[in-house]
A and B are shown apart, each in its own frame.
Chain A
Amino acid sequence: MSTFKVRRLKTNKHRLIIASVIGLCFLFTMCWPAVVLSAPKAIVKQVTGAVTIDAEGLIELYQSVKNLIIIDSRITEDRAMGYIEHSLSLADIDTNCKTLKALIPTLESTAAFYCNGPKCGRSMMATKMAVQCGYKNLYWFRGGFEEWKQKDFPYVIK
């Protein structure tokens, strides 16, 4: 009687352990993609072949470089919300060597790209495109219009 009881207890314990293991495994499998997905994206801060600058850097650059070309990589709908004065509109999807060439006189000309903000990849894409097109003096204003407006620098309202 007692032995039976003990054995039965043992079986129960076993079952518990097995169930726990299975449960843990299940949980892990379920959570795995989330763990993987929740891993932070590698924030791109640099574009090879371009200098990342902020708003003040852009202003400094504008003041020091004559004929600085500022390209607004946003689509026109975003640009309608306001834009930095003297910037040229060229959406990243439209950015290629040809369009760049139309805006930037030479490969040595200094150009800066911006879009809505750091999360906006358009300026990065545009900058990369410009790097591939062979432009040497490229600046990526990573903060974009968001940083500009936040720092209360003047902009143009349509």
Chain B
Amino acid sequence: MFERYYSFRFIIIVSLLWLMALAYGLSYYSTDIYHDLAVESQKTAIEELVRLKSIDLLKELQETQKVLGYRLRQENVFKDNFYKKNKAGLSAWLAQSYNRYFITTGLLTVESLLVKDADLQLVAFANKANNNQPYDGCSVIDNAITASASAEKLKSKSALCLYQGLLYSEVAVPIGSFSANGYLYIIVEVANGLKKLEADLNMPIRFLLPDGSEGYRSTTWLDTKNEESTISSYTVESFDGLPGLQVAVQFDLSVLDKKIEEIQTRFLLITSLVTWLTFLLVMFLLNKAYLPLDRLKNSAGLLLRGEYKIIADNSLPNELKAPVQAFNKMLIGLRAESEKRSQVESHLKKERDFISATLDSISNAVIVIGLDKRIQFVNPAAEKILSIDEGDLVGYPFEQVVVCYARRDMGEVVDIQRMFELCQQPEACDKTIFVYDSEQQVIELEFSSTLMRGDNKALGYLLILKDVTEDRKLRRQLSFNAYHDRLTGLLNRRAFEESFEKLIVENPSEQQEHIIAYMDLDQFKVVNDTCGHAAGDLLLKQLTVILKPMVRKSDVIARLGGDEFGLILPFCSLEKAQKVMQSIIREVVEYRFVWDEKVFSIGVSIGVAQFGSEADTLAAQMSAVDTACYLAKQAGGNQVHFYKKDDAEVLAHQGAMDWVAGINKGLSENRFVLYIQPIQCVNSKDKTKHYEVLIRYLDDSGMVIPPGAFLPAAERYNLIERIDLFVVRSIIEWLTENSKAYPNIMFSINLSGRSLGSNEFQTFIEQLIKDSEIDTSALCFEITETAIVSDVLRSIEFIKSLKALGAKFSLDDFGSGLSSFAYLKQFPVDYLKIDGMFVKDIMTTPEDYVFVRSMAEVGHCLGMKVIAEFVESKKMYHLLREAKVDYVQGWAVGKPEPLSTLLEVSSD
């Protein structure tokens, strides 16, 4: 019972209903009491009324009796008869009076009239007609008269007496005014006198006689004693206190009841009204009182939805303030908690999303395998890589779903336990397995697995699979590409170098002899230039096919550059190598390359070196074979040059390398000095003074070094361009300064093949010429046949563009190449300088003279002037004039002199 909770409303409604019931009950009860009390009081009041009224009536009766007595005694007939003591006359008169007053008064019924003398002896009396017995009531009046003094005797006396069961009112008046000569008694029945009560009270009355019999009853008296009436009574007592006559008044209660009922109704109405008003007021106030509770409820409801509504507590009553404040405190606490939690949650969610996104976006398959070898988690990449849906993976034993093979040929199955074991050491954990995909294609997977631990407990394995199928394929390809030449399929330079290192490393201590060779094709450029690169490529491919079978399988043959090939012959003697090289040269020379109905033959120069000890570094060996190859080429091509450490040629060549620093130094420190050698016109027709510009180097000791010492080095190490530029610039400067003094002068400047092939050099020269105001016809550029041949088209472009500016061109060393007669007509040169080799022996060798003469003829045919160099004697001069040479150059004409001497000479 007490564990049940009741709401305030319930309690208050119950209390109110209880109070209402109480009020109703009370009002009922009180109205009942009131009713009873009212009836009681009414009864009492009426009793009092009856008493008073009765007493009044009695007094009135007695007064009436007295007055009647006075009237009777002052009648002269009475006086006469009384004083004459005429008893008979008195009796007759009395009877007469009795009858008269008995009828007339109405109010009182005279019972009897008595006349007594002063001694109270009955003198006469009057009664009802049939009664001859004188009234003989109580003697109280007689006694009173007897006891009273003289004056007192004159006063009338009255008494109520019971006589023969009836109550009578007796009044005695004295006969005589100043002395009582006798007394006249008027006896009246009380009941009759009190009948007036009925009219006065307007209520039914009833008299009960002392013997209990009913003396009188109103006609309206209700006989049955019912609830609607009540009786009030008053007993008129006789003089001696005996009950004489009971006067009862019956009064109607219905009116009272009605009145009371009316009151009761009104009372109940008011009660209920007040109760209901109270109820409403209480409910209203209760609702008001509930408001904070409702707010609490609402707030609690909102709390479920995650809203925190603080309830204002400043206007709350004290008993609610505490819980509301506590609630608010709780709310604030909860909110703080929730904020913290939501922060943590959002943080966690972010983290989880991040991890999930990370896992999702990992392209590697991430698989979590429990200790029971069942799959617990897979990421989307895993589904994709394994081509299995997540639903078919999670929960199943890994081995049942995925079969892993150890080899590409799917020979050996790897069980999962082994995969885990393989990853015991992290560094060793880069293993590859193979699986079939949904289309039975082999997929190569790299995997790693980690034992996941949490709280010092193994949780499972994290298996990461990476699809490396494409990757590995590409890598293999790349690896091949990295070590092979794309065009020929031979090893490339890198592979070549690595092979060399490997050979050294793998055979360290033994004094083994290995052979390294460097092959450079001759005339490859010709094919490339005339037929294009496709032809060159084809040539290289075909050569590869030739070369490959010529070496052992263990030998290394590699394409090192454009037309350069390398060979490593491990454990090979020098003799054997020589044989191999010779056969290679033979094969290459015999080989014919056909393109567009053109037939080309090529040559090859080979540099060979022997190595074996660790001291032989790759760089040194490469340098050695390179040099050897160069020397072989210098020697005319299609040759093998064996490198020896004390090789004089090699040493000289290597000395050239020392020149690199010297040239750089010379250029920066202006150590180069220009010399000029005159070129004389044979016919003397040409007024122009013609000089070839030469270059010398001043070493630290002031020695003049001839160009043969440093130009090959400059040519080989790409410094020749700078030297050419230096020369051109110097001459232009000289011309700028001195052109006025020397109006008809022409300088022939040697240009290297490299400079000829350089676009920058061309634009630079052009700019120099344009910037200066010199007569461009004073400039003649000498270019060698080989220089042009290295890049014919480029050279022609160069020549044409400078010729357009007014410069002249001269083809130097004509005849040395011999292969280039075909090009000659293409070259728009102005001069043809016959190679000195033909000129110097012209005196002794008639063939040379023929050569020179025919060359001069060819030159003339092509509209060129022909120059002969190396003219050392007058005889030669004349012979050359016969051979129709236009210009001569040599000691016979003039030795090379410094450029500065020109000015000195002229000033002399």
Task: List the A residue with the shortest CB-CB distance to B174.
Answer: A154
- What is the distance, in angstroms, from B213's C-beta to the closest C-beta of chain A? 35
A56 to B179 Cα, complex, angstroms: 11
Which one of B71, B73, B74, B155 lies within 8 Å of A153 (CB-CB)?
B155
A85 to B176 Cα, complex, angstroms: 8
- Contact check, A154 vs B173: say whether CB atoms are below 8 A apart: yes
Which one of A60, A151, A155, A157 lies within 8 Å of B177 (CB-CB)?
A155
- Tell whether B905 is near chain A: CB-to-CB under 8 Å: no
- Contact check, A153 vs B67: say whether CB atoms are below 8 A apart: no
Q: Which residues of A contact B71 (CB under 8 A)?
A: 157
A154 to B70 Cα, complex, angstroms: 7
User: 19 extra interchain contacts, Cβ-Cβ under 8 A, other than A154-B156, A154-B176, A157-B70?
Assistant: A55-B151, A56-B151, A59-B150, A59-B179, A60-B151, A63-B178, A84-B177, A85-B74, A85-B177, A85-B178, A86-B177, A86-B178, A151-B155, A152-B155, A152-B156, A154-B177, A155-B177, A156-B74, A157-B71
Task: List the A residue with the shortest CB-CB distance to B155.
Answer: A152
Report how many A-B pairs have Cβ atoms within 8 Å. Answer: 43
Give A77-99 interface residues, CB cut-off 8 Å to B.
84-86
A86 to B176 Cα, complex, angstroms: 10
Q: Which residues of A contact B176 (CB under 8 A)?
A: 154
Which one of A86, A154, A156 lies within 8 Å of B154 (CB-CB)?
A154
Which one of A56, A63, A151, A156 lies within 8 Å of B70 (CB-CB)?
A156
Residue interface bits A57-87, CB-to-B below 8 A is 1, else 0: 0111011000000000000000000001110
A60 to B179 Cα, complex, angstroms: 9
A5 to B763 Cα, complex, angstroms: 125
Which one of B70, B150, B151 lies within 8 Å of A155 (CB-CB)?
B70
A60 to B154 Cα, complex, angstroms: 12
Give A16-57 interface residues, CB cut-off 8 Å to B.
55-56
Which one of B67, B156, B178 lies within 8 Å of A59 (CB-CB)?
B178
A62 to B180 Cα, complex, angstroms: 13
Q: Which residues of B contact A156 (CB under 8 A)?
A: 70, 74, 177
Task: List the B residue with the shortest CB-CB distance to A56.
Answer: B151
- What is the distance, in angstroms, from B251's C-beta to the closest C-beta of chain A? 36
Given A151-B155, A153-B155: A62 and B178 within 8 A (CB)?
yes
- What is the distance, in angstroms, from B739's C-beta to the closest C-beta of chain A? 129
A84 to B178 Cα, complex, angstroms: 9
Task: List the B residue with the shortest CB-CB distance to A156.
Answer: B74
Q: Which residues of A contact B74 (CB under 8 A)?
A: 85, 156-157
Given A56-B151, A59-B151: A153 and B70 within 8 A (CB)?
no
Residue in A84, A86, A152 whose Cβ sees the most chain B Cβ within 10 Å: A152
A62 to B71 Cα, complex, angstroms: 22
Q: Which residues of B contact A154 (CB under 8 A)?
A: 70, 73, 154, 156, 173-174, 176-177
Q: Which residues of A contact B67 (CB under 8 A)?
A: 157
Task: List the A residue with the shortest CB-CB distance to B173.
Answer: A154
Q: Which residues of A contact B150 (CB under 8 A)?
A: 59, 63
- What is the distance, in angstroms, from A68's C-beta to the closest C-beta of chain B? 9
A156 to B71 Cα, complex, angstroms: 8
Q: Which residues of A contact B151 (CB under 8 A)?
A: 55-56, 59-60, 153
Residue in B150, B154, B155, B174 whose Cβ sees the most chain A Cβ within 10 Å: B154
Residue interface bits B61-77, CB-to-A below 8 A is 1, else 0: 00000010011011000
- Contact check, A63 vs B177: say whether CB atoms are below 8 A apart: no
A151 to B152 Cα, complex, angstroms: 9
Q: Which residues of B contact A151 (CB under 8 A)?
A: 155
Give B160-193 interface residues, CB cut-off 8 Å to A.
173-174, 176-179
Given A56-B151, A154-B173: A63 and B156 within 8 A (CB)?
no
- What is the distance, in angstroms, from B377's C-beta to the closest C-beta of chain A? 100
A55 to B154 Cα, complex, angstroms: 11
Q: Which residues of B contact A86 (CB under 8 A)?
A: 177-178
Task: List the B residue with the shortest CB-CB distance to A61.
Answer: B178
A111 to B441 Cα, complex, angstroms: 179
A154 to B173 Cα, complex, angstroms: 8
A58 to B154 Cα, complex, angstroms: 12
- Contact check, B179 vs A153: say whether CB atoms are below 8 A apart: no
Q: Which residues of B contact A152 (CB under 8 A)?
A: 155-156
A103 to B178 Cα, complex, angstroms: 20
- What is the distance, in angstroms, from A113's C-beta to the closest C-beta of chain B? 16
Give A108-158 interface residues, CB cut-off 8 Å to B.
151-157
A55 to B67 Cα, complex, angstroms: 20
- What is the distance, in angstroms, from A84's C-beta to the closest C-beta of chain B? 7
Q: Which residues of B contact A60 (CB under 8 A)?
A: 151
Q: Which residues of B contact A157 (CB under 8 A)?
A: 67, 70-71, 74
Pairs across A and B, CB under 8 Å, 5 listed:
A152-B156, A153-B154, A154-B174, A155-B70, A156-B70
- What is the distance, in angstroms, from A72's C-beta to the closest C-beta of chain B? 13
A60 to B156 Cα, complex, angstroms: 18
Task: List the B residue with the shortest CB-CB distance to A151.
Answer: B155
Task: List the A residue with the shortest CB-CB distance to B175.
Answer: A154
A157 to B245 Cα, complex, angstroms: 32
A156 to B176 Cα, complex, angstroms: 10
A63 to B149 Cα, complex, angstroms: 14
- What is the distance, in angstroms, from B181's C-beta to the closest C-beta of chain A? 11
Task: List the B residue with the shortest CB-CB distance to A87.
Answer: B177
